[in-house]
Amino acid sequence: MVEYYQVECPADKSRQIVEVTEVEGRNRIDWCSQRVGCPDCSQSCLKSLRSVAFLMVTDLPQFESEELKALTLDQILARFESTELERLPVTEDGALKGSLCLRRLAFWRDDREVRSGLNMSDWSSTASEFEPLNWVELEETTVQLKDSWDVAIEKMPAVHRNELFVVGADNELLGCVYARQLLRACYTEPERP
C-alpha cells in the first residue's frame, strides 16, 4: 500500500511530500518532493519517476475561504507580490475550493475606480460584485502526486494558465506545478527506452 504524507525536512525545515510504501508490515520512504540541491539529498533517482511530485512547489501562498471574507483588495493583492503565480489557491479546511486570479483582481481594481464615480443609489446594485468570494474561480482541472509529467501537460491547456494545482485523494491542496517546469523537464529528458 502506498500513501503520501506532508513532512518537515530535517535538512532545511521545509515542508515536503513523501511517498511511503508498506513492505512486509514495515514502512519504507521511497521518495520525497525536496528540490534537487538539498545538501543531504540529490533526488537524481527520483527524476526517472517523471512524477509531478518531483517538480511541484509546496510552499504556496493561499487563502482560506473564511479568511478571504475579511480581507481587502489591497491585502489580497499583496499576497501575490511574493510569488510568480498568476493564481493563488483558495482552500476550505485544507481542501482546494478554487483560486483567485491576479488578472481578474487587477480588473476588479480598475473597475472599482470607475464605479467610484457612480451615484450612491447605483452602489446597491453593484456592491455584491466586490465580495472577494464572488471572484473565486472553481478549480476543476488538477493533478495528483502520482500523475506523470505527460498527464499534467495534457491537462494544462484546459486551465489556460501557467500552473496546475496538485491535490491529494480528498482534494487536499498539496502544491502546484508550473507549465515551464513541466515543459523543460519533458523536453530536456532523454527519451525512455
Provide the CATH number for the domain around residue 169. 3.10.580.10
143/30: higher pLDDT = 143
Please state whether beta strands 143-144 and 2-8 pair in parallel, antiparallel, or not at all (unpaired).
unpaired
Question: What are the grid coordinates assigned to 45, written together?
Answer: 533517482
pTM of the complete model: 0.66
Please check whether residue 76 lies inside any domain of the structure: yes
Q: Domain range spanning residue 158?
A: 63-188
Confidence of residue 114 (pLDDT cuts 50, 70, 90): low
Same domain, 44 and 72: no
125/133: higher pLDDT = 133
pLDDT at 38 over 80: no
Same domain, 127 and 169: yes
Helix (H, G, I), strand (E, B) or coil at 79: helix
Same domain, 183 and 151: yes
Position 125 scores a pLDDT of 46
pLDDT average, residue stretch 57-70 = 88
Grid cell 503520501 in the structure block, residue: 4
Confidence of residue 112 (pLDDT cuts 50, 70, 90): low
Residues 143-185 have pLDDT tens digits of 988 788 888 988 988 888 888 999 988 899 988 888 888 887 7
pLDDT at 66 over 80: yes
Identify the DSSP state of 162.
S
Position 26 scores a pLDDT of 58
Residues 87-108 have pLDDT tens digits of 999 999 999 999 999 888 877 7
Question: What are the grid coordinates assigned to 37, written together?
Answer: 540541491
pLDDT at 8 over 70: no
